[in-house]
Amino acid sequence: MRRTSASLIAGALVATLAWSSSPATAVDPSPGITDLTTDINQILADNRLTIARSAVTVRSAVNGEELYAHDQGKLMTPASNTKLFTSAAAAETLGLDHRFETSALRAGRQVGSSIIGDLVLRGTGDPTMLGEDYASLAAAVAAKGVKLVTGRLITDDTWFDAVRLGNDWAWDDEPYYYAAQISALTASPDRDYDAGTAIVSVAPSGDSVKVSVTPPNDYLKIDNRAVVGTTTDVVIERQHSTNTVLITGTVSEEYSEWVTVENPALYAAALFRDALAKHGVRVIGRTTAGAAPASAVSLATHQSMPLSELLVPFMKLSNNMHAEILTKAMGRKVSGQGSWTAGLKVVSDFAKANGVQVLNLRDGSGLSRRDGITTSSIAQLLYSVRSKPWYPVWYASLPIAGDPDRLVGGTLRSRMRGTAAAGNVHAKTGSLTGVTSLSGYVTSADGEPLVFSIMLNQYLSSSPKDIEDKIAVRLATFSRNAANVSAQLRGGESTQEFPDLECSWLKPLPC
């Protein structure tokens, strides 16, 4: 499923930067900054980073003054820190009031209770459409007096192009919900809004294993080979390029897995057709793909929540599909092309207009390992957007360290609890195997707002996110003039285990 077309590269914006040496030296002679430099250098001296790559930038959010820099000009793999650029560009380009529309239209005449022609289901990318929303659309069609459609049910997902998987995404990620197919017409199984997926659940039922699907549908074909056992050791996986879900292993208790679907537009249409039938509307023709004719008449429309609200599950839970849908939506708005090429150009142009000098984007989520960003670029973005009118809403969408509410703390809800960083650090996490990142905002002990970016790449150990946490906690205790306050950071290693993937990409959430 790899696509290597160079046309999908948004482009690298390259400038000559003064790369800091390693270890970093204080850029200001004040005792506070000298101590800060010493302490971050010590944290980065962790032997897990000996063969790895690390980069850190810390600046004042008041005036952009550089307080610490280590390899800040080196291109790093950002993982989900890419979403900082995607979300900010979406707020600027689409606006916080932007809503996605999903519509049912008739392509033909309505004569009494019959549509003589086709019924069209058209989408513009709404990742929040649930099974119940398609049921509401069906009810609205029935309320128009429609009982029979003599033609076909047409799925119109032409708002976006037909490229459904991101450039450079690994083929073996295809069944997993964090790498679902992107479509302008899709459906989600829950209010995390995991677009393009369904939840497959298993449970022991007497001597056999019972299987259920959320939302209920016949679009996925279940091949259940699991047996009841004394432990639950089960694999639920959609087979390559099909909608067959193979279930193997043993089941002793209820267990659920989020799986992707092949062709989300047809998945959405299956949900809609079933809902129509339940509301007394029969569609005689088959389901097919196509564009709604210009003469099509709207019967019902569903609007999503505004972007201001969507930012919360998007950023708090690090939702890859939201990032990619927003990327294509930006391309559609700016150039009339709902493609990665067009959307990534919008994001890159936005970053450049805000002073970012080095940026190479291959997708909107950071799932591609060929995305390349420097910590200096991220820090510049974080500093620049503070003057934007949408900044307060965007800032509030960032995960907050140590807050147990998953839609407040998000991917940071289990981190930095009981420290000066708890409730203080607002930052975006990022995780892939061998990649971790943390970038955002923290208020110092003096009450000075700071921006920071930390990226660690190519380590062979378990995830060194505790190194990020130590730096963030140290920034929360930073004072320009105070004596060294970092003794509490020395001599203790974190006992928390961190997943190799973004914790929100693992269900149920371990973070």
**Is the confidence at residue 480, as pLDDT, over 70?**
yes
Residues in CB range of 271: below 8 A, 6 or more apart: 131, 134, 187, 215, 217, 219
Question: In the predicted model, what is the mean pLDDT of residues 31-58?
Answer: 96
Secondary structure letter of residue 504 according to DSSP: G
Active site residue 147: no
The string of DSSP codes covering 92-139 is HHT-TT---EEEEEEEEEEETTEEEEEEEEEES--TT--HHHHHHHHH
- pLDDT at position 402: 97
Taking a C-beta distance cutoff of 8 angstroms, is the pair 324, 364 a contact?
yes
Say whether both 340 and 445 belong to one domain.
yes
285 within some domain:
yes
pLDDT above 90: residue 497: no
Of 55, 26, 170, 81, the C-alpha closest to 365 is: 81
pLDDT at 319 over 50: yes
For residue 124, tell me if it sits in a domain.
yes
Tens digit of each residue's pLDDT (9 = 90 or more) over 122-142: 999 999 999 999 999 999 999
Answer yes or no: do 295 and 433 share one domain: no
155's tokens = 């799925």
Domain assignment present for residue 1? The answer is no
CB 20 within 8 A of CB 40: no
Alpha-carbon 177 to chain mean position: 11
Q: What is the DSSP secondary-structure string of 208-264?
A: EEEEEEES--SSSEEEE--EE-SS-EEEEEEPTTSSEEEEEEEESS-EEEEEE-S-H
Q: What are phi and psi of 420, to 5 degrees?
A: -65, -15
Q: Is residue 156 part of a domain?
A: yes
Same domain, 153 and 232: no
Q: Measured between alpha carbons, how far is residue 311 from residues 120, 343, 384 in Å? A: 29, 18, 19
Question: Is residue 427 included in any domain, yes or no?
Answer: yes
- Report the CATH number at residue 278: 3.50.80.20
Encode pLDDT of 424-464 as tens digits.
999 999 999 999 999 999 999 999 999 999 999 999 998 99
> What beta strand segments (E) does 376-465 contain?
426-432, 435-443, 449-457
> What pLDDT was estimated at residue 60?
97
Q: Which domain holds residue 212?
A: 202-256
Same domain, 370 and 491: yes
- Statement to judge: residues 370 and 496 lie in one domain: yes
Q: What is the DSSP letter of 401?
A: T
Q: Indicate which residue of 20, 54, 80, 479 is catalytic.
A: 80
Q: Answer whether residue 12 is part of any domain.
A: no
Residue 239, pLDDT above cutoff 70: yes
Return the pLDDT at 484.
Answer: 46
| Residue 372 and residue 76 in contact, taking contact as beta carbons nearer than 8 Å | yes
- Residues above pLDDT 70, as percent of the chain: 90
Whether a cis peptide bond, with omega within 30° of 0, leads into 293 is no
State the pLDDT at residue 171.
Answer: 92
Instruction: Check if the beta carbon of residue 146 is closer than 8 Å to that of residue 153.
Output: no
Backbone dihedral angles phi then psi of residue 224, each to the nearest 5 degrees: -95, 110
Question: Is 345 labeled as catalytic in the residue annotation?
Answer: no
Domain assignment present for residue 9? The answer is: no
Which entry of 318, 368, 397, 453 is annotated as an active-site residue? 318
Catalytic residue among 74, 83, 333, 428: 83
Please check whether residues 320 and 423 belong to one and the same domain.
yes
Residues in contact with 294: Cβ distance below 8 Å, sequence separation at least 6, in sequence order: none
What are φ and ψ of residue 318, in 5° steps?
Answer: 55, 55
* Residue tagged 């703390």 (tokens): 409
Supply 109's token pair. 């005449």
Confidence (pLDDT) at 511 = 60
Which phi-psi region, left, alpha or beta, contains residue 455 (left: φ > 0; alpha: ψ -120 to 50)? beta
- Which of the four pLDDT bands, split at 50, 70 and 90, describes residue 29? low
Number of domains in the chain: 3
Residue 414: CATH number of its domain: 3.40.710.10
Same domain, 277 and 406: no
What pTM does this model have? 0.92
Per-residue pLDDT, averaged over 475-504, amounts to 64
Q: Are 148 and 113 in contact (CB under 8 A)?
A: yes
Q: How many CA atoms lie within 13 A of 478 on its CB side?
A: 33
Mean pLDDT of the chain: 92
127 and 276, same domain (yes or no): yes
pLDDT value, residue 169: 96
Active site residue 83: yes
Which CA distances in Å does 459 have to 49, 54, 94, 433, 435? Answer: 6, 9, 37, 9, 7
* Residue that is last in its domain, among 256, 291, 322: 256
Across the strands, what pairs with 130?
Answer: none
Closest CA to 471 of 80, 63, 58: 58
Task: Kindly state the tokens that stand for 411.
Answer: 């991917």
What's the pLDDT score for residue 481? Answer: 83
Q: Would 437 be classed as within a structural domain?
A: yes
Task: Say if residue 392 is in the same domain as residue 484.
Answer: yes
What tokens appear for 185 in the block?
A: 């017409």
Q: Three-state SS for 336?
A: coil
Paired with 53 in beta bridges are 457
Give CA–CA dist 236/209, Å, rounded. 13
